[in-house]
Chains A and B, each alone.
Chain A
Amino acid sequence: MKEQIKDTLYSVAEEVLEKLAFIFSFPEDERDQIDFDSAVAARVSFIGPFKGTLVMIVSTQALPELTGNMLGLENNEETTTEQQYDAVKELINVICGNLLPSIAGKETVFNVDPPEIVKYTDDVLKPFSAENGKPAEPASVARLDLDEGECDLFLFVDGQLPESAD
């Protein structure tokens, strides 16, 4: 089950990055986590047959191309921080929207919160820590290398995934 979810997370993220931002991405499962000091994080929470949160972390060096591509700008046109944040929020929103029915089935109904930018600190994943103080284990992680920069995705599920979720 866990491997299936991981494969789904990778394939959905790769497809959305390519179709929405015209960015090719490559799985790099073994590499280290993105440097927290030079990245932007967004998260979106959901509730349905199971509930949880998807976190997306993108290195800042990837943001100009990613945002420019989505807006259809020329290479020499600059993007604002607000546009870059908006682009990351839209990407995680679309990834989450495509991921959940792929995991739980198209008959299921999820309520998805609006995506939000997480002000980036070392404890960006702290809200997902378990009650005993230990960091919560994500149900799945995808690490992608982009043309410029990197993108990490963490899927946190509150409780157990239902057996039928495949």
Chain B
Amino acid sequence: MAINVLIVDDSGVMRAMILKSLHMSGLPLGDVHQAANGQEGLDALNQHWTDLVIVDINMPVMNGEEMIDRMRQSNETKDIPIVVISTEGSKTRLEKLKQKGAAFIHKPFSPETIRDTIRNVMKLGGDDEGTN
């Protein structure tokens, strides 16, 4: 199973780092699309089949939390697994994200953390590991 991923972060450098980590993780990647804020992310979800959304929280135009709320309100996107990658350190805010069904990775992160979190959130076993 190839995983089609949408990466949403206002930093091009951070999107590149996440993409590099995904390639290093050994996960079977399909198409990877990118967006610079929550609104662009929702637009991308309307255009591309997506199996996993990786999203930052603090972004201009529409932040990650609002994007997640909009996704959960739509029948088409409400079940897509979400991983939040952010600098957020507040337990209060992290608890709110968990209640929305999102997994959380704290910046700075390692490729192993991304791999393990995605495996967990997508319920992948070791057999799904890719060769790239």
Contact = CB atoms under 8 A, between A and B. Distances in A.
Contact of A19 (B10, B60, B92, B110): B110
Interface size class of B (residues with CB under 8 A): 20 to 34
Contact of A112 (B14, B17, B58): B58
Contact of A101 (B13, B89, B108): B89
Contacts of B16: 70-72
Contacts of B91: 106-107
Contact of A97 (B17, B88, B92): B88
Nearest to A111: B58
Nearest to A79: B13
Given A19-B108, A94-B108, A114-B60, A108 B10 contact: no
A71 B87 contact: no
Given A94-B87, A110-B90, A20 B10 contact: no
Interface string A98-135: 10111000111110101000000000000000000000
Contacts of A87: 13
B11 interface: yes
A71 B120 CA distance: 26
A86 B11 contact: yes
Interface in B85-107: 86-93, 107
A100 B108 contact: no
B63 to A, nearest CB: 10
A83 B17 CA distance: 12
B87 A98 contact: yes
Contacts of A83: 12-13
Interface in B11-33: 11-14, 16-17, 20
Contacts of B86: 97
A94 B12 contact: no
Contact of B90 (A15, A16, A107): A107
Given A71-B17, A83-B13, A98-B89, 13 more contacts: A19-B108, A19-B109, A67-B13, A71-B16, A71-B20, A86-B11, A89-B11, A90-B11, A93-B58, A98-B87, A107-B90, A108-B90, A112-B87
Interface of A: 15-16, 19-20, 67, 70-72, 83, 86-87, 89-90, 93-94, 96-98, 100-102, 106-110, 112, 114
